[in-house]
Amino acid sequence: MSSSELEEALWVEKYRPKTLDEIVNQEEVITALKRFVKSRNVPNMLFAGPPGTGKTTAALALAHDLYGENWRNYVLELNASDERGIDMVRTKLKDFARTRIVGEIPFKILILDEADSMTREAQHALRRTMENFADITRFVLICNYPSKIIEPVQSRTAVFKFKRLSTEAIASRLRCIAEKEGVDLKEDGLEALIEISEGDLRKAINLLQSVAYLNVPVTREVVYKTAGLVYPERVEEMIKLAYNGDFEKARKELIRVLVEEGVSGEDLLQEFYRVLSRGKVIDLASEDKIELLKFISDLDYRLSMGATDYIQLTALLAFIRDLGTKRKKKG
């Protein structure tokens, strides 16, 4: 990877907020963290919430505000998804936790990202480490699914829930990045980035970086093509055709999307789910909508187990066609 490519790949890090004051949309969490900074006393914490909402950023910003410009000397950041087992807890993590520091603040901070990917054995070892070095090390555990963190660890932390970022917050950040990087970000391209990212700012920035690498104006068409996704309107059209009885035409459109445009079956199924959940394309009775969503969940499982994209999605169109036929007979 060249130096220019490396710089582009680090956009998320480059534009990450450096202090707590720069973080938006997480007011309750940030207020509590500022209180900890002011008192110079930080508890063990568990940051939980969807990806790309600022959990890691908040932990790093807390360390910056607490220790100042030399904060990296007092912080160790580990990614538990790289080393999930007990050996990581007994070596890297424990070696850092047991080391004392000299300074105004008597403790260090250990940030453990993706802690929910750790094995239960490793989490039990982590619990003991948290107890043994509570006076000189504070632990910040970061996860998407707090239910995967064992109760003894959760009970030793203050839990903070992060919420998805608002459309306005994501749009503001993307405009700022595009302006500083000299990227021609069109309004419809911005809307597409927000639509695809679904509140995940990291995903939006990475997609913007991928499109910017093409050195073309960032439009809706380019964003969807780069992301390998299909327009929601195309999915809506397939659903309408199948529901109204034109199954063959809907199937041919499905083939075009899967084969000619290279959209993955799992991504296309997710778009089907999003469109049908909105309930604006076809008018379904409650019981029919429930059956359809159950059917989609079964397809999602089959695709995850390696089933053929085309066959499974064709079955979905056939199911929608049967719902339309049933509705006509009732009507």
Q: How confident is the model at residue 216 (pLDDT cuts 50, 70, 90)?
A: very high
pLDDT per position as a tens digit, 61-120: 999 999 998 898 899 888 866 666 677 777 777 888 888 887 788 899 999 988 988 888
Cα–Cα dist 120/84, whole Å? 10
Mean pLDDT, the chain, whole residue set: 89
Backbone angles phi, psi at 68, to 5 degrees: 90, -160
List the beta strands (DSSP E) in the chain.
45-48, 75-79, 108-113, 137-143, 158-161
- Residue 82's pLDDT is what? 67
pLDDT, residue 89, reads 73
Give all domains of the chain, ordered by start, each with its CATH number. Answer: 12-161 (3.40.50.300), 167-227 (1.10.8.60), 232-330 (1.20.272.10)
Are the CB atoms for 12 and 206 separated by under 8 Å? yes
The percent of residues above 70 in pLDDT, for the chain, comes to 95
In angstroms, the CA 200 to CA 184 distance is 21
pTM of structure? 0.81
For 328, residues 6+ apart whose C-beta sits below 8 A from its C-beta are: 245
Backbone angles phi, psi at 160, to 5 degrees: -125, 125
Torsion of CA 255, 256, 261, 265, to 10 degrees: -30
Place of tokens 């930080």: 42
pLDDT of 84 reads 63
Q: Which CA distances in Å does 279 have to 176, 194, 235?
A: 35, 21, 13
What pLDDT shows up at residue 5? 45
DSSP H helix total and E strand total for the chain:
17, 5
